[in-house]
A and B are shown apart, each in its own frame.
Chain A
Amino acid sequence: MATQEKVDVVIVGAGASGSVYAAVLAKAGKKVVVMDNGPDWQTSDLISSDIWGRRVKPAGAPFILEGKHPVSMGAQGGWGVGGAALHYFANFPRLLPNDFRIKSEHNRAHDWPISYDDVAPFYDKVAQEIGVSGDAGAEELWRPKGQPYPMPPMKTFRNGRVWLKGFEANGIRMVPAAVGMNSIEFKGRAACIYDGWCHVGCPIGALANPLVTFLADARKTGGEVRAWSTVTRVLTDASGNKVTGVEYYDRNHEKQVQPANVVVLAAWAAQNPRLLLNSATDKHDKGLANRNGLVGKYIMTHFASGTNAMFDEDVENHMGTLGAQYMSYERYGKTAHKGAFGSTFIVAGSSIKVSGLGGLANTRLDLFGPELHAFMKRAVKNLSRMNAFGEELPKIENRLELASEKDEFGMPLGRIIHSYDENDAALWNANFEEGLRIAKATNAKDVWQARAVQPTIHLMGGTIMGTGAANSVVNSFGQTHEIANLYCAGPGIFATGGASNPTYTIFALSMRGAEHLAANWSTVAG
């Protein structure tokens, strides 16, 4: 075992949240090392192919997936530098004010320890930093005023426009989708060319993935990204009051120690609690930051209610982006649907490729043989779909715990247990019913939905934020209540999940946490 030279901060995970911490802290003059367990992907590795695009996703992630609705680890996760943000769709809706005070307003779930106003400046700052296209003014139908986005909305295509009549007929106002993509050239990064390969990684830098944004900034200011480095434990001093670095295995499976003044866990909502639990000591016998037993609790996901429609016209569904063209918060109120609680976020107009999980062939999973081929010939021209994303409220029994089985490094696998409840099912179904009404008010000839299995999209919770150790693992900056120089970042710290795609909020919260850490460095790291 070798011990590396001490650094100011070691960040575990080179995805959305870790990249922000790396950029902010490196810029503040800190010596930064970012570790990631996979390859050091470059944009030139991002081949435009559903088949080749699977390489940036985990193969056999070290988790056992249980419950009635197991989380979708393989499809949602990332592997390697860039993390899941290397293949995300870059939809950039934000959480709204009502997300931060569900307990106060509805006596359900819990409040965040901060309000929308605390996060809003960082949404604006991230937009200016990495580029967001959209119409902020139009969004102010539903949210407080903020800064305009730095780029105009993206182009629209027929696969999005065909839905507008249906939304209007149902009283749902749609506005240009906010996306982390370039509608025009931005800071030397190319404008989008609407080829629809976002989900396998954008090699031209038009989509704001970490390689071309925060990680590039971090590297320019001296930050080191150390690929093929699998962190297995966070180390503490004899008192148990401070972390001292991390233990990890390098590419040759040699054990190493990286000492650091501050440790930021940014390894996603599943791996962060797994690391905390695996770092137990005599001073922290249940794992770090876990005296209250809340590490790993409140795992949350989103669920989509997708509506497919076949039109007579060629809707150009191969064109555009995997993100949305139009979005709406019209059903974002927690009680927007009678008999179901929670927010809904609506989108329409994404490109659809032929194969892959979200591809045309999977919109009719019941078809095979000649019937599938006939369907495909029609679908490549005429199919479009809309989606409504629903909010799952946090439940303490949806959790991550350590299993007895171990991985190749001797670290216990994580067991993630996740199930939806009746309310989640009710919201999912309410969104399906509304999707049908919308589709039937368009010119669609055939309309169908896949309702067999309630999907699990995105992953949040596990190290939630709150007002103190009685109700949470971290404070609003991601700093653990128990150990001042140990941070968690990413969707794991969300107190509740809202219904909006999480990455914009991940960026914003990470920037808020990183700036706070930089501003209070001597107190935290000293």
Chain B
Amino acid sequence: MDAMERRVFLKGAGMGMLAFTVGGANVLMTPGQARAQGVPFRLLKAHEAETIEALGETLVPGAQRAGVAHFVDQQVSVPPGEALLEARQLNVRPPFINFYRAAIGAVDKAAEARSGRRFAALSAPEQRDFVDLMRQNKIDGWQGPAGGFVYLILRSDAVDVVYGTMEGYESLGVPYMPHIAPEKRW
């Protein structure tokens, strides 16, 4: 990494934040802060973000408030080499937005076929039942990336924002013990 690149990298990583666009300027904040401040999404459409939030909250309680949709949105908007998504390790081919669009589309299409409503509009018990079937690849007529794989990726994103941060470790009562600490709670 050259000096200029390292400064940019450490500005984000060292402070433990991601760059969100607010009023045309890049502002460093956590995804949870971005959600609380209503930062506009870069690539996700409103209904796509809604589906990710609903899925995230079903998978890991607290994921919605922790900004899972803002996390995914920011991450799919940066060059693949800078992305921090678990999808990167699971052989998803960039651009990562393509995978998320296909996954969200499959979820909502299947939810509508089963219940006449998009996933986010299902009741909490219905969402749980849907996710349980999806993870086992047991939803009839599913069209898109395998349901079990969608479950794995979205669950990983939700785990990241809820448990994978310094705050997450603290909430579970386990010491974080960093060599090089993310300065904020990321």
Contacts and interface: CB of A to CB of B under 8 A. Distances in A.
B177 to A, nearest CB: 4
B174 A318 contact: yes
A215 to B, nearest CB: 14
Contact of A50 (B1, B60, B128, B164): B164
Question: Which of B151, B152, B164 gathers the greatest number of chain A CB atoms within 10 Å?
Answer: B164
Interface string A7-48: 000000000000000000000000000000011111011111
Interface stretch (B21-29, B86-94, B109-117): B86-94
Question: Which of B80, B132, B172 gathers the greatest number of chain A CB atoms within 10 Å?
Answer: B172
Contacts of A372: 59-60
Contacts of A484: none
A59 B88 contact: yes
A195 B177 contact: yes
Contacts of B139: none
A142 interface: no
Interface in A183-200: 193, 195-197
Contacts, number: 155
Given A47-B13, A354-B172, A42 B6 contact: yes
Interface of A is mostly: loop
Contacts of A65: 91
B2 interface: yes
Contact of A59 (B13, B80, B168): B80
Given A55-B84, A361-B163, A377 B172 contact: yes
B1 A42 contact: yes
Contacts of B168: 354-355
A39 B8 CA distance: 13
A84 to B, nearest CB: 12
B1 A40 contact: yes
Contacts of B132: 368
Contact of B94 (A60, A369, A370): A60
A60 B135 contact: no
B84 A52 contact: yes
Interface string A39-74: 111101111111110110111110001000010111
Interface stretch (B39-47, B100-108, B178-186): B178-186
A50 B176 CA distance: 11
A79 B1 CA distance: 12
A376 interface: yes
B172 A59 contact: no
B179 A357 contact: no
A50 B179 CA distance: 13
A73 B83 CA distance: 16
Nearest to B127: A369
A313 to B, nearest CB: 15
A47 B172 contact: no
B58 interface: yes
Contacts of A72: 91
A227 B81 CA distance: 14
B174 A57 contact: no
A468 interface: no
Contacts of B58: 368-369
Given A57-B88, A59-B88, A366-B135, A318 B6 contact: no
Contact of A70 (B13, B85, B91, B181): B91
Given A354-B164, A373-B60, A380-B173, A48 B89 contact: no
Contacts of B156: 355, 362
Contacts of B82: 55
B89 to A, nearest CB: 4
Contacts of B160: 50-51, 355
B141 interface: no
State the 3 A-B residue pairs at the shortest beta-carbon distance, nearest first: A355-B164, A48-B178, A59-B80
24 contacts: A40-B1, A45-B1, A45-B13, A48-B181, A50-B164, A54-B84, A54-B86, A57-B88, A59-B83, A60-B92, A60-B93, A195-B177, A203-B180, A204-B179, A354-B168, A355-B156, A355-B168, A361-B159, A362-B156, A366-B135, A368-B59, A368-B131, A376-B163, A381-B174
